[in-house]
Amino acid sequence: MPETLVLLHGFGGTHRTWDPVLPELDHERYNPLVPDLRGHGTKAGVRPISFDGCVTDVLAAAPDEFVLCGYSLGGRVAQHVALAAPKRVMRLILVSTSAGISDDPARAARVAEDERLADELTRMSIEEFADLWMANPLFEATPAEASRWWREDLLRSDPIALAEVLRMIGGGAMVPLWDRIGTLTMPVTIIVGGRDTKFIDYAERFAQLLPQAEVRTIGGAGHGLPREAPRELAGLIAGTEG
């Protein structure tokens, strides 16, 4: 019987983030479950937008035992899920993510940056947000064809809701989990793009703290792994590629 594989998307996306990855998975091994996170897509109107709320949604939708994979913001939510219900998460896969900003001045700067963007979002159309977000240097390696459907996915959310996401569960708002993450004992795979320097550093920090962690790098890729390298990502999720 296939294992349930819960896949959590990043900021601004929806469950459709995983569309390029799903066909590459072994469906005899995995039964994918791809929810929208609060403040995104079909859950744009669900409140409160909080890590606890997102954890509640995931645990309510998932079976008693499941494999959990989160990308970027979804990876931070996935860590909260694993810490809340460690006996239910059989394996944890963290893609292009971190456990928060532990340096106080850096976190304060990120709070200010997120607040500035959130304020801009309240005055933007969703089309303007899509153009702004796709121009982020973090995503410069996105292939042209992937950019087309990625923009379509970004248009499925609401800028007002995304502004609240930034304020409530953004990178600055999140209380760092580095001092708690080492309590997780399930196998953990950390996946990062070879060009994603900032998140390579985070991956190495995860590896030092997690007792059963392995780091896997997709050479030549940046931050947007589900759209930049879906086949390679699917292989690493399944543990069949090195």
pLDDT in tens, 2-56: 999 999 999 999 999 999 999 999 989 999 999 999 999 999 999 999 999 999 9
Number of domains in the chain: 1
**Dihedral (Cα; 227, 172, 47, 90), 10-degree rounding:** 60
Where in the sequence is the domain holding 105, given as residue range(s)? 3-238
Average pLDDT value for residue range 209-218 = 94
Mean pLDDT of the chain: 95
pLDDT of residue 242: 45
Average pLDDT over residues 84-90: 98
Per cent of the chain over pLDDT 90 is 93
Rounded to an integer, what distance in angstroms lies between the CA atom of residue 161 and that of residue 156?
11
Whole-number pLDDT of residue 241: 55
pTM of this prediction? 0.97
Q: Which pLDDT score, from 0 to 100, does residue 211 have? A: 85
Given a contact cutoff of 8 angstroms between Cβ atoms, the answer to whether 207 and 124 are in contact is: no
Domain at 195, CATH number = 3.40.50.1820
What does DSSP assign to residue 196? -
pLDDT of residue 34: 98
Rounded to 10 deg, the angle between the 126-134 and 144-154 helix axes is 140
pLDDT in tens, 168-196: 999 999 999 999 999 999 999 999 999 99
Give the Cα separation of 181 and 69 in Å (integer). 15
Say how far apart CA 154 and CA 227 lie, in whole Å. 13
Look at residue 120 in the predicted model and tell me its pLDDT. 97
Contact 92, 99 (CB under 8 A): no
Q: Can you say whether residue 101 is alpha, beta or left, with left for phi > 0 and alpha for psi between -120 and 50 degrees?
A: beta
Over range 99-109, report the average pLDDT: 96
Residue 197 in this model has a pLDDT that exceeds 90: yes
What are the tens digits of pLDDT across the range 142-168?
888 889 989 999 999 999 999 999 999
Cα first-last separation, the chain: 25
> What pLDDT is attached to residue 239?
82
Q: Phi/psi class of residue 103: alpha, beta or left (left: φ > 0; alpha: ψ in -120 to 50)?
A: beta
